[in-house]
Structure 1
């Protein structure tokens, strides 16, 4: 494989992207910093196919990333391969308003291969390629220039090994017939709505302190205020205000701006500065949450109750048994919410259709409807059919 020097000029990048646009797939990774910012600070982009690999310096003066971004989001003939690519996709979305398509995530694929729910890249490389990666540059400051050879070699290794991994994983998935299992997961990962960070929806990430509409309305308003302040100042949300501070103000709203000095977690200066004025305005203007926006209750599963909770626990045990038998990560088959819904009598859920039904849903339905039971044979948990008398 040909490894290019660090790309810092637009002509070289455009030529590289023109060649890669004819490849069946490219592997992609990014290096970024976001400890002190709201927006991730993109510091390096790595890309490869089976023939060549390169690191691209997005901080290079006058570098035009358009050909690369066009390859990512507009060229639908080239598959984009990531490992645990959620944050990489977020960066592309921030730059284009779109997500890479089509895409493949090797961490998700590893779940279908029984390699664990969140296997790390270095562990996956060691497991499948027998290569032990040097982690020495893992915690480097990627924003500092110049980058040395060791840093660049480390970064490019993330995509060169991935270009060897992906075909092997794809072949195994095809042989086992599990490639189609991943379609929905990849669609979910690539959904642009997941990366939009709409201020009016920011409150959904905060544990609600109450179910009173007026409290939740204030929570929504204050969380949206924080999201806008963090964006405008390019600071992490927590640097503006912690979640617990927002929840406390939603429950016990300060009446006047001067009262902000008494709120734990806020600067006393907010009692008389502009950011404090904007916060108190957001609190005063907050409206009770509309009925249609009310979050589901913790006991939202209809009729779950104590007996239903026990049934859900049995379904979790069945999930462990069936995921062990199928050699696939339990999280790929079903989520806790699905099991609780099934225990409560709901039937319009993903585990009762497609491949999930075949390897788990059918037995899960038989269990809750009394046609299947647990037993132990030779020290191993197995399922036993119950014959109706």
Structure 2
């Protein structure tokens, strides 16, 4: 495979993208930093097909990224291959407002093949290619220039090995008849809604034991206010205010701005500055949540009562049995939250009740809950059996 020098001029990038547009697929990775910002700062883009690979410097002065943008989001004939591509896709969506498509994620493919639960890239390379990667440059500051040879070699390796892994994983998926599984997962991965930080929903990430509608209404308003502040200032949301601070303010709202100086986690200046005034405005405009808006966090087992935890354990055992028999990662089939929601009675908008997940696990999970299925041990192996006349 031909490895190009770091690309920092528009002409070379345009020529590379023209060649790659005729490939069957491209492997893509990015390097970025976001410790001090709300939006990730894109520092390097690596791309390869089965013939050539290059790193692109998005920080280079005057570099026209249009050919690369067209390649990634406008060329729907070209398959884009990522590994654990969630953050890479978030960056592309932030910069272009569009999603790359079609997609192939090697981490999800590996889970569908039973290689591991969210297997890391280096472990996947070692598993399939028997190559042990040097992780020394993993935590480098990718924003500093110039990048040295070791950094570039590390970065390029992420896509050269990815370009080799992809055909191997694809062939194995086809042999096991799991191509449709991955197609369904890639459609979910490419959903833009997953990468939009909606300020009005940001409160759902904050843990708070209080279930009062007025308290949760204030928390929703405060979380949205913080999100808008963080986006506008391009600062991590925790730099504006910590989650626990918002939860405390929601539960014990100050009556006057001056009282903010007593709130732990806030600067004393907030008692009389503009940001403190905006916080107080958010509190003032908050309205109690409607009953249907309040998530069922405190009692995920719903009407199951005190036996809910034991039922969850049975469903998790069923999940392990089905994952073992199918040789697929259990986490790809269902997660704890999915099981909790199923026990609580939720049936709509449940991935485990549609597609391949339903056939592999969901329908048996429902049968177990309804008392139509039981565990048994046959030849020292846990199996599921249907209960006759149940």
Q: Give TM class, smaller chain.
A: over 0.9
In 2, the alpha carbon distance for the partners of 1:343 and 1:270 equals 45
| Secondary structure in structure 1 of the residue aligned to 2:235 | coil
Shift of 1:6: 0.3
- Go from structure 1 to structure 2 and tell me whether the alpha carbon gap of 1:128 and 1:233 turns closer, same or farther (over 3 Å shift): same
Number of aligned residue pairs? 389
Shift of 1:302: 4.9
Partner of 2:273: 273
Deviating more after overlay: 67-76 vs 356-365: 356-365
Task: Answer yes or no: is 1:5 the counterpart of 2:1.
Answer: no
Q: Deviations over 1:289-313 (max 9, x none)?
A: 2445332343355522233443232
Q: Deviations over 1:89-147 (max 9, x none)?
A: 11111101112111111111111010122110000000011111011111111110000
In 2, the alpha carbon distance for the partners of 1:270 and 1:211 equals 28
Partner of 2:89: 89
- Go from structure 1 to structure 2 and tell me whether the alpha carbon gap of 1:250 and 1:209 turns closer, same or farther (over 3 Å shift): farther
Q: Deviations over 1:325-376 (max 9, x none)?
A: 1110112222334434544565554434432233323433443333432223
Partner of 2:125: 125
- For the aligned residue pairs, the C-alpha RMSD in angstroms reads 1.9
- Go from structure 1 to structure 2 and tell me whether the alpha carbon gap of 1:290 and 1:145 turns closer, same or farther (over 3 Å shift): same
Unaligned 5+ runs, structure 2: none
Shift of 1:174: 0.4
In 1, the alpha carbon distance for the partners of 2:291 and 2:322 equals 40
CA contact (8 A) 2:25 2:49 kept: yes
Q: How does 1:197-276 map to 2 (within 5 A)?
A: 197-276=197-276
Partner of 2:382: 381
| Secondary structure in structure 1 of the residue aligned to 2:137 | coil
In 2, the alpha carbon distance for the partners of 1:373 and 1:301 equals 20
In 2, the alpha carbon distance for the partners of 1:339 and 1:122 equals 31
Q: Deviations over 1:25-80 (max 9, x none)?
A: 11100000111111111110000001111000000001111111111111110111
In 2, the alpha carbon distance for the partners of 1:203 and 1:350 equals 23
Normalising by the residue count of structure 2, what TM-score does the alignment of the two structures yield?
Answer: 0.94
Partner of 2:28: 28
| Secondary structure in structure 2 of the residue aligned to 1:296 | coil
Partner of 1:372: 373
CA contact (8 A) 1:209 1:251 kept: no
- Go from structure 1 to structure 2 and tell me whether the alpha carbon gap of 1:215 and 1:346 turns closer, same or farther (over 3 Å shift): closer
Unaligned 5+ runs, structure 1: none
| Secondary structure in structure 2 of the residue aligned to 1:303 | helix
In 1, the alpha carbon distance for the partners of 2:274 and 2:221 equals 17
CA contact (8 A) 2:44 2:57 kept: yes
Partner of 2:286: 286
Q: Deviations over 1:251-293 (max 9, x none)?
A: 1011111111100111111112221121112112222224453
| Secondary structure in structure 1 of the residue aligned to 2:303 | coil
Partner of 2:151: 151
- Go from structure 1 to structure 2 and tell me whether the alpha carbon gap of 1:266 and 1:299 turns closer, same or farther (over 3 Å shift): same
CA contact (8 A) 1:351 1:357 kept: yes
Shift of 1:323: 0.5
Partner of 1:116: 116
Shift of 1:232: 2.0
CA contact (8 A) 1:93 1:195 kept: yes
In 2, the alpha carbon distance for the partners of 1:367 and 1:293 equals 30
CA contact (8 A) 1:69 1:96 kept: yes
| Secondary structure in structure 1 of the residue aligned to 2:81 | strand
Partner of 1:327: 327
Partner of 1:137: 137
Shift of 1:219: 0.8
In 2, the alpha carbon distance for the partners of 1:172 and 1:277 equals 59
Partner of 1:296: 296
Deviating more after overlay: 185-194 vs 341-350: 341-350
| Secondary structure in structure 1 of the residue aligned to 2:140 | coil
